[in-house]
C-alpha cells in the first residue's frame, strides 16, 4: 500500500490509502457521543449488526483542497451534512447533526494535514463520512446502536478519461440502478452494491462505466455510473436530468449555478430521453469523485454518440469549479468551509 513518502500526487487513482486518524462517534440510548479521533482503522462490531445483513448503511463523500496559502478548504460540506440526514431518515437511522458532521470532518482534516494534497497537484483529500447500524440483532428491524465514522484518503481522478485525458466512454445498461419509489434519491450502500455487476459488464466491453436509464420506461437518462449526467446543446444550454430516483448531486447543483450566473447559459433540469443524445455537442459526468469528467462516447442499442471531449463549455465549468474549490476565486456564500 502506498505511503506518504512514495505518493505520486499527480497520478493518484481513486483507491483506499490508510491515513493516520479517523473520527468515530457512537449512538446509544437515544443520543450521539461526542466522538473522538482514533488511529485504528479496523472496526469490531456484532455479527448481528443490521449493516451486515440488511444494508442499514448510508454514506457521503466530500473533498478538501489545499489553497495557495496552505489552508484546507472543504467544498459545500453543509450540503453533504443535510444529504446524510436525508439518507438516515430514509433508513430509520438517527440523524447526525450538522455541528457533529462539520466538527468530525474538520478534526479528520487537521489530524491528517500531511495527507492533504499539495496545491494544484491535481489531487485532493477525500473524506468518507458514513453511518452504520450495529449491535446484536436478528430480525429485519432498525438497529438499536449506530456508528458515525469519517475517514480520509488522498485521491486523484475517479475516471481514467479525465479532463486532461480525452474523456470517458459509457454504454447504457439494461439493469436498473434503483426502483421507481426506492432508494435512488438517497446515498445508501445497497444502491452501490447493486451497481457492481452492471459496472463490471461495461468495463469488460471496454467502457469506463454504464449509463442507467429510468426504471419505469428505460427511455430516459438517469445516472452515469456513480455520477450525475449533463449535456451541452448546440445552442449552448446546460441540460441535466430530473428524477426522484437520481441522487441529488451537490456538484451538479453547483454547476447549474455556475453555468447560469457565470457563463450566462440557459439551464434546464428536466427529463432527458436517451434519443435526445444527438442534440448535445458536449456531455459530462459530474460528482464529488468524478468532479467533471467529459464524455466522449455513449453507446446505446448498437448506436454510438460522440461528443467534444472536453468541449469548451465543459472545460470552462471545470476550471471555474476548481478555482473556487482551491480558493482562487471568490465563492458564493457558504460554499467554502475553511479548516483552520
d(CA 259, CA 151): 32
Residue 166, all three cell numbers: 480525452
Q: Tell me: the pLDDT tens digits for 221-246?
A: 999 998 999 999 999 999 999 999 99
* 1-15, 99-113, 140-154, 209-223, range with the lowest pLDDT: 1-15
Q: Could you check whether 4-155 and 168-325 share the same CATH topology?
A: no
pLDDT above 90 (res 166): no
Place of cell 505520486: 8
- Are the beta carbons of 183 and 191 closer than 8 angstroms? yes
Other CB atoms within a 10 A radius of the CB of residue 319 amount to 14
Residue 5: band (very low, low, confident or very high) from pLDDT cuts 50, 70, 90: confident
Please give the sequence-ordered ranges of beta strands (E in DSSP) within the chain, or none if there are none.
Answer: 22-28, 31-32, 36-38, 57-59, 62-66, 72-75, 124-134, 145-155, 168-172, 209-213, 221-224, 227-233, 237-241, 266-270, 280-287, 291-300, 303-306, 336-339
Closest by Cα among 64, 63, 24, 23 to 339 = 64
Instruction: Give dist(CA 262, CA 257) in Å, integer.
Output: 8
The tens digit of pLDDT for each residue in 86-128 reads 999 999 999 999 999 999 999 999 999 999 999 999 899 999 9
Q: What is the secondary structure of 77-123 as a DSSP string?
A: HHHHHHHHHHHHHHTT-PPPPHHHHHHHHHHHHHHTGGGSPPTTSS-
Classify domain 4-155 by CATH number. Answer: 3.30.470.10
Q: 10 Å Cβ neighbour count for 128?
A: 16
- Grid coordinates standing for 81? 451534512
Domain locations in the chain? 4-155, 168-325
Q: What predicted TM-score, i.e. pTM, was given to this entire model?
A: 0.95
Alpha-carbon 282 to chain mean position: 21
Domain spanning 168-325, CATH architecture: Alpha-Beta Barrel (3.20)
Amino acid at each position: 500500500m502506498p505511503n506518504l513518502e512514495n505518493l505520486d500526487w499527480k497520478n493518484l487513482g481513486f483507491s483506499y490509502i490508510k491515513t493516520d486518524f479517523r473520527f468515530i462517534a457512537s449512538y446509544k440510548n437515544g443520543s450521539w457521543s461526542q466522538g473522538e479521533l482514533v488511529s485504528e482503522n479496523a472496526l469490531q462490531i456484532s455479527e448481528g449488526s443490521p449493516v451486515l445483513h440488511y444494508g442499514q448503511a448510508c454514506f457521503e463523500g466530500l473533498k478538501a483542497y489545499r489553497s495557495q496559502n496552505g489552508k484546507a478548504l472543504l467544498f459545500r460540506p453543509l450540503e453533504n451534512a443535510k444529504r446524510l440526514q436525508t439518507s438516515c431518515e430514509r433508513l430509520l437511522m438517527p440523524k447526525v447533526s450538522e455541528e457533529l458532521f462539520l466538527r468530525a470532518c474538520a478534526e479528520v482534516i487537521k489530524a491528517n494535514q500531511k495527507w492533504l494534497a499539495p496545491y494544484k497537484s491535481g489531487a485532493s483529500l477525500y473524506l468518507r463520512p458514513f453511518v452504520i447500524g450495529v449491535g446484536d440483532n436478528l430480525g429485519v428491524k432498525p438497529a438499536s446502536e449506530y456508528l458515525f465514522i469519517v475517514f480520509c484518503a488522498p485521491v486523484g481522478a475517479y475516471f481514467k478519461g479525465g479532463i486532461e485525458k480525452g474523456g470517458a466512454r459509457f454504454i447504457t445498461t439494461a439493469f436498473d440502478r434503483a426502483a421507481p419509489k426506492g432508494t435512488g434519491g438517497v446515498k445508501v450502500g445497497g444502491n452501490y452494491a447493486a451497481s457492481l455487476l452492471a459496472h463490471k459488464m461495461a468495463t469488460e466491453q471496454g467502457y469506463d462505466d454504464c449509463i442507467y436509464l429510468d426504471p419505469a420506461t428505460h427511455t430516459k437518462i438517469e445516472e452515469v455510473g456513480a455520477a450525475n449526467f449533463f449535456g451541452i446543446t448546440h445552442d449552448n444550454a446546460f441540460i441535466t436530468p430530473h428524477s426522484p430516483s437520481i441522487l441529488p448531486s451537490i456538484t451538479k447543483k453547483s454547476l447549474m449555478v455556475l453555468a447560469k450566473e457565470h457563463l450566462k447559459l440557459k439551464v434546464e433540469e428536466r427529463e432527458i430521453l436517451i434519443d435526445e443524445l444527438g442534440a448535445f455537442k458536449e456531455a459530462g459526468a459530474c460528482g464529488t469523485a468524478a468532479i467533471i469528467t467529459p464524455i466522449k462516447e455513449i453507446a446505446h442499442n448498437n448506436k454510438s454518440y460522440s461528443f467534444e471531449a472536453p468541449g469548451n463549455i465543459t472545460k470552462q465549468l471545470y476550471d471555474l469549479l476548481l478555482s473556487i474549490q482551491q480558493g482562487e476565486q471568490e465563492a458564493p456564500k457558504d460554499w467554502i468551509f475553511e479548516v483552520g
